[in-house]
Amino acid sequence: MPGTVASLDPNPPTLPLSDAAIPGDLFARMRRDNLARWPTGARVDVEEAAAFHKTLPAHKRLPAVLRRAVAEGRCLTQPRGGFATLAMQTELMRTLDRDGMADIVPTTTDSYTRNEQFVQAQRGVEESERLGRSMLNGFPLVNYGVDACRALIAGIEKPAIVLSGTAMPKLTAEIGYAGGYTGYLGSGIAYTVSYTKETTIEEGIRNYQYVDRLAALYQEHGVELHRRQPGFLTGTIIPPSIAIMTCVLDLLLAARQGVRHYGLELGQCLHLVQDAAAIRACRELCQEYLARFGYTDVFTPVTSLHWMGAWPADEAQAAALIGYGGTLAAVGGASSVTTKSTHEAIGIPTPQANAEGLRTTRMAIHVSYGVRLDGLPAHEFEVDLIKREVRAVVDRVLEMGDGDVAVGTVRAFAAGVMDIPWSPNRQVKSRVLPARDADGCIRILDAGDMPIPRDVMEIHEEKLRRRAERERVPFDHQLAVGSVYELSEPLSRLMPAMVA
């Protein structure tokens, strides 16, 4: 690929794939090679960066802020946001901090950076400056380097996180963490299956083992950093259980590298009960599997994400999903919510529209007043269902790896035991097909080769059949395609006037 930096092999093929922590000396060599891949890498020095992190006040450190949010039962807000130039990014982050009252301020990288096409990213910066508008869908963090990051961090009064949907995170993570970001989103399984076409699961896992190991290295220098897993996957009708399977596996991989502050992200199903059940099941299952592996000290806050599928173009209609997104996160007991804007269906939001989405969400959180659904029969039913699905598949994955999470995962994807809906990746079977049922919950229409227990699948099927019957459509894969569009439809189709 033109502009791709791949001259040096950053993974010396010395060690076979495993979930073991990367040994210190090997990691040092890997880091040296990695940092040599682009000029700005030279500026990175973990000792110096750790010292810098120690100068940051607690309210600008995401690990501390998240621990406090969990202790106080708060739900924090966080948008996405990135523009091509430092000036635009500075203004954006300040607007999100001040007008949006974001509790966590993001820096989304552009898609060239995500694919390590730094030459193209550079052209994007230049074009953006020439035309006076952002031609990139994010901030080219590697091109700008460590000191630009520190300038961005200096401009806000909140902790900052790097959002860089990629299976090639090694330079953005190095520069982001050294630049004063206290959180980094991404994981080997989740991002490889949803953001790449040719990258192998093994490669993705190895790349994120590097990032996790890097966070652990900072920990060794006395600096706690936040790592986070994007369990929203392809954002497209993801059943909670499939998201949580990836959460558990990526989490175990991170824990093995030494990470102790690891967030899990779940895209909303847009169902009050199912989303609350998902958040609770995720939290409990993560700790359950950590305990099985002997970890009792890993902090695992759960983040809920505003609807990740296709949005309606009508801004009034979209506003409902924004407010509801705050409600779902708060009622579900998520520690933070990642927000969208009324521009979602069309394009990257202006800083103002982004800030409005944050405020609508924040107000929705305020009026949720800590309501919880525990004890509601339908909620307990969903929690149980999700747990049965996750345990069946994850246990099978672990078996396939003879206890090694990395090996098991690679084999499980090859066998279709792990599968992801609507994946662009050629290594993922993507035979599993979910759809929304008659009660509004996301169910599995076709499990492909995933070992979901038969009695569980009968529940899914029954609920989907009811929908097909109610709408007089065949019970087939069209249900899955319809579900992809569904919420982007105009209200005249979603909820037509009543014929009395």
Partner 1 sequence: MTGRTLVTGVIGSDTHIVGNRILTMALEAAGYRVVSLGALTPAEEFVRAAIETAADAILVSSLYGQGELDCRGFRDRCVEAGIGDILLYVGGNLVVGKQPWPEVEKRFTDMGFDRAFPPGTRTDEVIDILARDFGARAEPVRSAS
Q: Which does 80 bind (CB under 5 to 8 A by kind): partner 1, its own copies, ligand B12, none?
A: ligand B12
What tokens does 491 get? 């209200």
Residue whose token pair is 């590298």: 257
127 binds partner 1 (CB under 8 A): yes
194 binds partner 1 (CB under 8 A): yes
Residue 471: CB atoms within 10 A of its CB come to: 10
Among 376, 414, 457, 484, binds its own copies (CB under 8 A): 376
319 binds partner 1 (CB under 8 A): no
Q: For residue 295, is it left (φ>0), alpha (ψ between -120 and 50) or beta?
A: beta
Amino acid of residue 223: V
Among 37, 67, 114, 443, binds ligand B12 (CB under 6 A): 114
Contact between 394 and 249 (Cβ < 8 Å):
yes
What tokens does 318 get? 């979209």
Could you give the 3-state DSSP secondary structure of residue 387? helix
Residue whose token pair is 């090996």: 407
Positions in 424-483 near partner 1 (CB under 8 A): 424, 426, 481
195 binds partner 1 (CB under 8 A): yes
Chain-centroid distance of CA 24 in Å reads: 28
Residue 87 to residue 101: CA distance in whole angstroms:
20
324 binds its own copies (CB under 8 A): yes
Candidate segments 15-23, 108-116, 256-264, 291-299, binder of partner 1 by CB under 8 A:
108-116
494 binds its own copies (CB under 8 A): yes
Positions in 65-104 near its own copies (CB under 8 A): 65, 68-69, 72, 74, 76, 101, 103
137 binds ligand B12 (CB under 6 A): yes
Residue nearest to ligand B12 (CB): 347
Element (H, E) at 108: strand 105-108
CB of 146 to partner 1, least distance (A): 24
Each residue of 365-398: b (16+ CB within 10 Å) or e?
beebeeeebeeeeebeebbebbbbbbbbbbebbb
Contact between 332 and 257 (Cβ < 8 Å):
no
The pairing of strands 442-446 and 433-436 is antiparallel
Nearest 5°: the CA angle 252, 253, 257 is: 110
165 binds ligand B12 (CB under 6 A): yes
Q: Which does 196 bind (CB under 5 to 8 A by kind): its own copies, ligand B12, partner 1, none?
A: partner 1
Running DSSP on this structure, what letter comes out for residue 37? T
Positions in 224-243 near partner 1 (CB under 8 A): 234, 236
195 binds ligand B12 (CB under 6 A): yes
Among 346, 363, 473, 481, binds its own copies (CB under 8 A): 363
In which order are the strands placed within the sheet that holds 226-229?
76-78, 336-338, 302-305, 262-267, 226-229, 183-185, 160-163, 105-108
Running DSSP on this structure, what letter comes out for residue 42? G
258 binds ligand B12 (CB under 6 A): no
The pairing of strands 433-436 and 336-338 is unpaired
What tokens does 180 get? 């004063």
Q: Which residue number, 233 or 322, has a Cβ lying nearer to its own copies? A: 322
Among 2, 132, 375, 474, binds its own copies (CB under 8 A): 375
What tokens does 330 get? 């708060």
Positions in 103-162 near its own copies (CB under 8 A): 103, 157-158
Q: Which does 408 bind (CB under 5 to 8 A by kind): ligand B12, its own copies, partner 1, none?
A: none
CB of 83 to partner 1, least distance (A): 8
Residue whose token pair is 């230049």: 126
CB of 221 to partner 1, least distance (A): 34
Residue 193 to residue 82: CA distance in whole angstroms:
23
Number of residues that bind its own copies (CB under 8 A): 66
Residue 12 to residue 70: CA distance in whole angstroms:
40
Among 34, 187, 234, 246, binds ligand B12 (CB under 6 A): 234
DSSP string for residues in 67-103? HHHHHHT--EEE-----SSHHHHHHHHHHHHHTS--S
138 binds ligand B12 (CB under 6 A): yes
357 binds its own copies (CB under 8 A): yes
Q: Which residue number, 132 or 375, has a Cβ lying nearer to its own copies? A: 375
Using CB under 8 A as the criterion, which residues of the chain lie in contact with its own copies when the complex forms? 58-59, 61, 64-65, 68-69, 72, 74, 76, 101, 103, 157-158, 270-273, 312, 314-324, 326-327, 331, 355-357, 359-371, 373, 375-378, 439-441, 487, 491-492, 494-495, 497-500
Using CB under 8 A as the criterion, which residues of the chain lie in contact with partner 1 when the complex forms? 1-2, 110-112, 114-115, 117, 120, 123-124, 127, 133-137, 165, 194-198, 234, 236, 310, 313, 343, 345-350, 353, 422-424, 426, 481, 484, 488
Using CB under 6 A as the criterion, which residues of the chain lie in contact with ligand B12 when the complex forms? 80, 108, 111, 114, 137-138, 165, 194-195, 234-236, 308-311, 343-345, 347-348, 422, 424, 484-485
